[in-house]
Each structure stands twice: as structure tokens, then as C-alpha cells.
């Protein structure tokens, strides 16, 4: 098949790409979506769980790359989880049809309205809270755990203990919605259906229960008959042509990463939805290699969404810790955002190691007071991140404050089991920014200095949103694509 004159190409099948694909296909447009990862549903290969990492567990690595306890050797395969290592930060990303939705914890959190307004002063917050956020919660199938099930289920002891301890320390807790179907989870607990969340399935994909994008937006887009998804197709560079169309140099690989074919695509309209790091890589690398025009704001205003991991050991040792059995789907959080001294939100995270490790794990989300920049280093031919300990100083202070307060009220020590000094300052699940809405793009994600190029993914958010980001990424993408279509950008 000739891909020399495609009307619309989308690169990447995460949240931004899936929303764009659905809305364009519904509007009757033919769309080709290029995804470097595997179409797992089509391939029919099951995802592996945390305790037995297999094919899906890592992107072309010889060893597993979970944030901790990587004792497993692997045969390189185009798995769902990748890790990008920089000097002071490690960034985990999802690969495959569905992008980050395949690997993430499914926590579907709408940001606080006051913070959303602070981060996006130019957006119509009222419209977001009355229309776009409710719309995406519906499309993503967001739901909430039944309180009685949470109270009774042995797999949620870690949440009950976490909440009880937080209250004792004077913190406020909140229930966290998720895209995992909690009705399915109740059935798996009763052994009526195959187990998934209760079978340590997370971060390497999920075989049942979880409504990842392949089951929501992308499935709907496929049903229009207007979407073609080419998996295992990695875009290497983009060139701008004289007639303002784009040429894409693409490598098709097999599941061992070996090259099958070098392909050239040309398209009139191009949407970059390769995720924050993927989109920045494409823009900055193309600029370095072929003079691809980029605006001066590309790479600026990048942040880790205040991600900072920490943990405590020997939580309530006398009452048996957080439990040997743990669901992989988090449902509890501690909301300390309104504390002027130490504003943060933290997930009460599971640690499903198959035994009671008497350890509580927390992923803090903080403000990002000092943003970073992303560059392309021509010598090493890779992205460079201007980011170090100074960027996470306040996050560390918040984590210290949190752990001290929790330990004072409940006993326990800072977790040296999980992290060298008890803090995982360099762990990032939520890279955001670098191609910020209304700075590097116009108000709807159209890139400045370009007529036919759009960015629709996490890079539009200026480095911070105060909660887990995919609900916001999806809502911003809905807002942008709706307006781009309305303005006849894809006519
Ligand atoms: P996303 O990263 O989803 O998709 C980009 C896609 O583009 C990928 O499939 C990639 O393979 C593809 N791609 C990249 N470069 C390409 C190229 N050159 N050619 C072709 N394809 C290319 N968030 C949240 O709200 N709640 C949560 O519970 C969690 N939990 C969580 C856990 C873990 C382990 C991770 C890694 C992340 C989370 N997140 C999360 C974060 C969330 O998953 C993330 O913010 C979104 O997936 C980002 O959506 P995007 O649309 O920006 O890109």
C-alpha cells in the first residue's frame, strides 16, 4: 500500500492520539495512526503480571525495569513498559496500541478547579468542569469502588491501613476513581471470572477489567471504519516539504526490535501525540537533523508533575502490615493540597509483592516550583534534560514532612527497602510540558510556525497539574480537536 499522500497522520496511540482519532473519524476523515509499540489485542499475546515478568514487561530490555526489585532476566521483546534514563531522573512510559493506558494504574483524577485555573489561566474553566471533564470520565469509563467491598476485601487492607494511619496523623483522605471496572473486580474476588487486578497485573498490562484506550476511544474510532492503525511503526524524523506537507521516515520492526522495512509516509496534516517525551524527541531531533522549523518555546516549561516516591517500613507490625494480598488498583489518596506550607497529594499505592513486605508505598504529586528544559544533544544524538536535585528540593521537603508525621503518629521508619535513602526523587511517571498550549502552540494545539502540524498530548500541560494527569490530557485533547475541526483545519 502506498502511503505517499495520506490526508491525516497521527503519531502515537495514547490519550491525545486516541481522542484525535475518534473525533476525526466521527467527522468522516480518514486517519492513519502510527504506533511504535505492539497491538496486543490483535497479536493475542497475554500481558504478564508483576510476579512473573514476560514478553509485555519491558521494551526491548534484557532485565525487568519496574521501579524496584528487578531480579528478572528477559528476552528482548517490544513490551509495554519503557524507561528513559536521564542524569537525575528516570521516566517510565507506555508502549503499544493504547500508550500509557496499558501500563498505568488507571487512577482517573479530575484536577482541583483552583489549580487548573492557575495552570491554564486562559482556558474557560467553567466549560471544562461542566462539559469536557464529565465527557472524558464517561468515555474513559471512570467508576468508583463500592465502600462495602473496600471494607471487606482482604486485597484492600493496604488502603484501609493507609487511610487509618493518615487520619491518625491528621491528614485528610479522599476516594480515588479509576478506569478499572470495579464490578468486574468484585466478580474476580468471588472467582466468577479470571483474575486480573487481584492477580498482580499492573504496569506490564492488564488482561481483564481495566478499560484501557484500546477498549474505549480506540475501539470506537475503529468502529467508524475510518481509522487504520499501523503498529510496530516508529517514526524516526519529520521533514517539512515546500508545499507545507510533511514527510515521515518510519521504521517498521518485528517484536524483537529488528528492522523489517524503512518506509516513507507523506501527509497533508500531522498530529503529534507521541507522549511528552516522544513528541519532544521528534521535534528536537528533526530540527537537529534536517533543520525542521521549531518555535523557541519547544522544550521549555517541562516538569515531572511533582512526582516523588517514598515509603515506610514496618507499618503497624503488630497488626500484620499492609497485607500479602494486594489489589494492583489504587483507590485511596491523601489530600494535603490546601496546606500552604506543604501542599501535596499522595496516592496510597499498592505493593503487590506476593508476600507481606510490611511496607507502605506513596507516590506524592507536588507543585513544580522550578521547571526544567529539554534539549537535543547532537553529539550523543539523544534528548538531554536540564533537571537536577534543585528542581525537586521542595518535593523532598514535603515527603520528609509527610513521612515524619506519619511515623510519629503510627510508628515505622523511612523505607530503605525500596529506595537508597528512603526517597525516590528520580522516579517519574508523569512527564508533562515542553510544548505548552498557548506558548509553543496556538490556543488549540496548532504548532506555531507551522500550518499543518498539531500537538495533542501531555506536552501541552506546563509541567504540573497537581493530580494524576490522564483525565486532564484527555480533556485538553477533546477541547483542542473539537475546536480544530470546527475551524475547518482538516477540511
Ligand atoms: P502516551 O505516552 O500515553 O502515548 C504516546 C504513544 O506514542 C505511546 O504508545 C508510544 O509508544 C508512541 N510513540 C512515541 N514515540 C513514537 C514514535 N516516534 N513513533 C510512533 N509511536 C511513538 N496517569 C494517571 O492519570 N493515572 C495513573 O494511575 C497513572 N499511572 C501511571 C503509571 C505508570 C507506570 C506510568 C508510566 C504512567 C502513569 N500515568 C498515570 C501517566 C499516564 O499514563 C500518562 O500521563 C499518559 O499516558 C500520557 O498520555 P499521552 O497521550 O501524552 O501519551
User: Ligand 1 centroid to 14 CA: how many Å?
Assistant: 6
Look at residue 246 and tell me whether its pLDDT is greater than 80: yes
Superfamily for the 6-55+64-486 domain: FAD/NAD(P)-binding domain (3.50.50.60)
Residues in contact with ligand 1 by the CB-under-6-Å rule are: 11-16, 34-37, 92-96, 99-100, 103-107, 203, 234-235, 273-276, 278, 282, 429-430, 457-458, 468-470, 473
- Specify the pLDDT at position 318: 59
pLDDT on residue 422: 78
Shortest-distance atom of ligand 1 to CA 97: 9
**Are 37 and 95 contacting, i.e. CB atoms less than 8 angstroms apart?**
yes
State the DSSP string of 124-192: -HHHIIIIIHHHHHHHTT-B---HHHHHH-GGGHHHHHHHHHHHHTT--EEE--BSB-HHHHHHHHTTS
Is the distance from CB of 165 to CB of 334 less than 8 angstroms? no
* Closest-lying ligand 1 atom to the alpha carbon of residue 276: 52
Running DSSP on this structure, what letter comes out for residue 5?
S
Q: Ligand 1 centroid to 275 CA: how many Å?
A: 6
Mean residue pLDDT across the chain:
96
**Which residue has its alpha carbon closest to ligand 1 atom 10?**
95
Name, in order, each residue with C-beta under 8 angstroms of 44's C-beta and a sequence gap of 6 or more. none
Q: What amino acid positions are annotated as catalytic residues?
A: 347, 430
- For a substitution probing ligand 1, which of 20, 435, 470 has the most ligand atoms within 8 Å of its CB? 470
Please check the confidence at residue 14 and state whether its pLDDT lies above 70: yes
Per DSSP (E only), the strands in 297-377 are 300-303, 307-313, 332-335, 344-349, 359-366, 373-377
Comparison of pLDDT for 318 and 468, the residue scoring more: 468
Confidence of residue 320 (pLDDT cuts 50, 70, 90): low
Give residue 314 CA to ligand 1 midpoint distance, Å.
33
Interval 281-309: pLDDT, tens: 999 999 999 999 999 999 999 999 999 99
- Ligand 1 closest atom vs CA 18: 51
- pLDDT reading at 319 higher than 70: no
Atom of ligand 1 nearest to the CA of 279: 15
Question: According to the model, what pLDDT value does residue 69 have?
Answer: 73
Q: What is the whole-number distance in angstroms between the Cα of residue 313 and the centre of ligand 1?
A: 30
Helix (H, G, I), strand (E, B) or coil at 406: helix
pLDDT in tens, 255-264: 999 999 999 9
Parallel, antiparallel, or unpaired: how do β-strands 81-85 and 90-94 relate? antiparallel
Domain boundaries, the chain: 6-55+64-486
Listed residue (302, 346, 278) closest to 107, CA to CA: 346
> Residues 55-106: pLDDT tens digits?
999 999 999 998 877 888 999 999 999 999 999 999 999 999 999 999 999 9
Buried b (16+ CB within 10 A) or exposed e, 257-270: eeeeeeeebbbebb
Instruction: Output the residue whose Cα is nearest ligand 1's atom 31.
Output: 104
Among protein residues, the one with the nearest Cα to ligand 1's atom 8 is 99
Q: Report whether pLDDT(363) > 90.
A: yes
Residue 401 CA to ligand 1 centre (angstroms) = 30
What is the arithmetic mean of pLDDT over 402-408? 95
Amino acid at each position: 500500500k502506498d502511503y505517499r499522500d495520506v490526508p491525516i497522520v497521527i503519531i502515537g496511540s495514547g490519550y491525545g492520539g486516541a481522542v484525535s482519532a475518534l473525533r476525526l473519524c466521527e467527522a468522516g476523515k480518514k486517519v492513519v495512526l502510527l504506533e511504535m509499540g505492539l497491538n496486543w489485542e490483535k497479536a493475542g499475546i497475554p500481558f504478564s503480571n508483576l510476579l512473573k515478568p514476560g514478553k509485555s514487561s519491558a521494551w526491548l530490555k534484557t532485565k525487568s525495569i519496574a521501579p524496584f526489585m528487578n531480579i528478572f532476566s528477559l528476552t528482548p521483546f517490544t513490551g509495554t513498559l519503557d524507561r528513559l534514563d536521564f542524569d537525575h531522573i528516570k521516566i517510565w512510559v507506555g508502549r503499544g496500541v493504547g500508550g500509557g493506558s496499558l501500563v498505568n494504574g488507571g487512577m482517573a483524577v479530575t484536577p482541583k478547579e483552583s489549580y487548573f485555573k492557575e495552570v491554564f489561566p486562559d482556558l474557560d474553566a467553567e466549560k471544562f468542569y461542566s462539559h469536557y471533564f464529565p465527557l472524558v470520565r464517561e468515555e474513559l469509563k471512570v467508576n468508583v469502588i463500592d465502600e462495602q467491598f473496600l471494607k471487606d476485601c482482604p486485597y484492600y487492607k493496604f488502603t484501609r491501613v493507609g487511610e487509618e494511619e493518615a487520619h491518625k496523623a491528621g491528614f485528610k483522605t479522599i476516594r480515588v476513581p479509576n478506569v478499572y471496572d470495579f464490578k468486574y473486580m468484585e466478580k474476580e474476588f468471588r472467582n466468577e471470572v479470571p483474575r486480573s487486578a487481584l492477580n498482580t497485573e499492573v504496569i506490564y498490562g492488564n488482561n481483564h477489567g481495566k478499560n484501557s484506550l484500546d477498549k474505549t476511544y480506540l475501539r470506537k474510532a475503529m468502529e467508524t471504519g475510518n481509522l487504520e492503525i499501523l503498529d510496530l511503526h516508529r517514526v524516526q524524523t519529520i521533514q517539512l516539504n515546500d508545499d507545507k506537507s510533511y514527510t515521515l521516515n518510519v521504521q517498521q520492526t518485528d517484536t524483537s526490535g529488528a528492522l523489517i522495512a524503512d518506509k516513507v509516509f507523506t501527509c497533508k496534516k500531522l498530529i503529534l501525540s507521541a507522549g511528552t517525551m516522544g513528541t519532544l524527541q521528534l521535534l528536537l531531533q528533526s530540527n537537529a537533523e534536517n533543520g525542521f522549523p521549531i518555535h523557541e518555546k519547544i522544550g521549555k516549561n517541562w516538569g515531572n508533575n511533582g512526582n516523588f516516591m517514598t515509603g515506610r517500613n514496618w507499618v503497624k507490625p503488630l497488626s500484620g502490615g499492609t497485607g500479602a494480598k494486594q489489589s494492583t488498583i489504587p483507590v485511596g489518596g491523601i489530600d494535603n493540597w490546601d496546606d500552604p506550607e506543604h501542599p501535596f497529594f499522595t496516592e496510597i499505592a499498592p505493593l503487590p509483592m506476593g508476600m507481606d513486605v510490611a511496607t507502605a508505598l506513596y507516590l506524592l504529586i507536588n507543585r513544580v516550583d522550578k521547571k526544567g528544559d529539554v534539549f537535543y544533544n547532537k553529539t550523543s544524538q539523544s534528548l538531554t534534560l536540564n533537571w537536577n536535585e534543585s528542581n525537586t528540593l521542595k518535593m523532598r521537603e514535603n515527603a520528609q514532612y509527610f513521612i515524619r508525621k506519619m511515623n510519629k503518629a503510627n510508628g515505622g521508619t523511612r523505607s530503605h527497602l525500596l529506595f537508597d535513602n528512603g526517597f525516590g526523587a528520580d522516579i517519574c511517571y508523569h512527564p508533562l510540558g515542553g510544548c505548552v498550549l498557548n506558548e509553543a502552540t496556538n490556543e488549540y494545539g496548532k504548532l506555531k510556525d507551522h500550518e499543518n502540524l498539531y500537538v495533542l498530548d501531555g506536552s501541552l500541560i506546563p509541567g504540573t497539574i497537581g493530580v494524576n494527569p490522564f483525565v486532564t490530557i484527555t480533556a485538553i485533547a477533546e477541547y483542542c480537536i473539537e475546536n480544530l475541526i470546527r475551524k475547518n483545519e482538516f477540511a
